[in-house]
Chain A
């Protein structure tokens, strides 16, 4: 079965990311499967998350275009599966960028991403009512409906992420 890419983001995200009750979420899935692809954009298989993306060109707007953008810049990117953070409301996707873990959280829209970004403390040591002991300095980026987290200090990777996503909105103080 194929699902329109934009709707696929909603489907593969946790139901709670949409604020949907489980039964409403299940109904939504059935409707989308029955309707098929109705809008433009790349279609994706529900059971096969994107491993290779078709080039879109242009700025980063979503998970696929982020990977595309990084690869176009000559950076190696390998999808690694899902990642969970207790302080974010949705599951994310882990990508290996130049051999390092980068976490990508794609929300239903920019407003939802903004709301969660607002929970991150200026030094990154807290997100909402969670305190975090990081293994290295955290760097949070926001671009449209994406929140991206890299924990580490690889200068080349930081440069590549900034080129794709803009300056990180956090964090300044943690070592």
Chain B
């Protein structure tokens, strides 16, 4: 009798252990999400950034959120960097996209801020991610890890993701509140999404499809339709890069719906400065 009871208990424990790790993912931002009729979908990130440094952060952020395969999974949401709507620091929103901006927004207490507009209580229609140069030009915050952390986080809030943690500890996710400053300025912890972030995106966007879409179509707002040339600005978005930074793949979407993929093999010198960065902007 006792043996039977123990066996049953063991079976229950084994069943619980077998539950998918999806139960860990619980950082949806109030259920907000983009309405779309199919997965995966591509969210355009409007590049209004005024420095090569911030542009490289955005490129890295986009690449990281496009790399769920790092964790052996997929993502229902991909990103594509396109020209921004405005060079003004106020950075107006554009329907169906997330606009990304930097500016000296003042000593107002925040490093980064993400805003969304919603309709029907849950559907995101447009987003905005801002990073505050009033603080980022100060030595305390002016390091690539803190910048990447904040860029990665603010952009992802416009996906409908909340923080994984707000207690200051590192979950090694850019969706936590770890501070890459002071003694941790050299730490690359919490500068990229982790597996739980992609799990949450799958939870949010695999739950249902919608009958309409609030996401701007790729061919409607694609960057210039000019041919890809030797001008690095014509290559489109950095999609992937080898660990040593020498082999990079760029993708450009054209208004007619076609894509151009460009592979670049960098010199040792070009890649050495920052293997993980987009070398178009890091020197």
Q: How far is the CB of B120 from chain A (nearest CB, A)?
A: 13
Distance between Cα atoms of A155 and B29 in the complex (Å) = 32
Q: Which of B138-160 contact A (CB under 8 A)?
A: 141, 150, 153-154, 157
B168 sits at the interface (CB 8 A): yes
**Bound: A86/B105 CA distance, A:** 10
B109 at interface by CB-CB < 8 Å: yes
Asked whether, in the complex, the Cβ of A133 is within 8 Å of the Cβ of B112, the reply is yes
Q: How many angstroms between the C-alpha atoms of A130 and B64 in the bound complex?
A: 23
Q: In whole Å, how far is B267's beta carbon from the nearest beta carbon of chain A?
A: 36
Task: Tell me whether A27 is interfacial, beta carbon within 8 Å.
Answer: no
Alpha-carbon distance A173/B111, docked complex (angstroms): 18
Q: A134 vs B112: C-alpha distance in the bound complex, in angstroms?
A: 7
Residues of A within 8 A of B162 (CB): 131
* The residue from A125, A126, A138, A175 contacting B109, defined by CB atoms under 8 A apart: A138
Q: With A129-B115, A131-B114, A133-B154 in contact, do A174 and B109 touch (Cβ < 8 Å)? A: no
A94 to B112, CA, bound (A): 19
Complex contacts, A173 vs chain B, CB 8 Å: 166-167
Are A101's CB and B117's CB within 8 A? no
| B115 adjacent to A86 (CB under 8 Å) | yes
Q: Which of A94, A129, A135, A136: most chain B CB closer than 10 A?
A: A135
Give complex CA distance A85, B106 in Å. Answer: 9
Q: Is the CB of B109 within 8 A of A130?
A: no
If A173-B167, A175-B167, A175-B177 touch, does A135 touch B113 (CB 8 Å cutoff)?
A: no
The answer on a CB contact under 8 Å between A129 and B118 is: yes
Query: Complex: how many Å from CA A57 to CA B205?
Result: 57
Could you tell me the distance between the alpha carbons of A138 and B110 in the complex, rounded to whole angstroms?
10
Chain B residues, Cβ within 8 Å of A151: 109-110
B166 and A86: CB pair below 8 A?
no
Task: List the A side residues contacting B107 at CB < 8 Å.
Answer: 83, 94, 101
Closest chain-A Cβ to B251's Cβ sits at a distance in Å of: 29
CB distance from B261 to the nearest CB of A (A): 34
B108 near A133: Cβ-Cβ < 8 Å: no
Task: Decide yes or no: A134 and B117 within 8 Å by CB, A125-B166, A175-B167, A175-B168 being known contacts.
Answer: no
Contact between chains at B106 and A84 (CB < 8 Å): yes
Provide the bound-state CA to CA distance between A174 and B109, in Å.
13
Interface residue? A132 (CB, 8 A): yes
Give the docked Cα–Cα distance between A103 and B106 (Å): 12
Contact residues in B for A131 (Cβ distance below 8 Å): 29, 113-115, 154, 157, 162
Give CA–CA (A125, B163) in the complex, Å.
9
From known contacts A173-B166, A174-B177, A175-B168, infer whether A132 and B106 are also in contact, taking CB-CB under 8 Å.
Answer: no
Q: Which of A129, A133, A175 meets B110, CB within 8 Å?
A: A133
Expressed in whole angstroms, the Cα–Cα distance for A3 and B7 within the complex equals 83
Seed contacts A94-B107, A175-B168; 15 additional CB < 8 Å A-B pairs: A85-B108, A86-B113, A101-B107, A125-B163, A126-B29, A131-B113, A131-B154, A133-B177, A135-B110, A136-B109, A138-B109, A149-B109, A151-B109, A151-B110, A175-B177
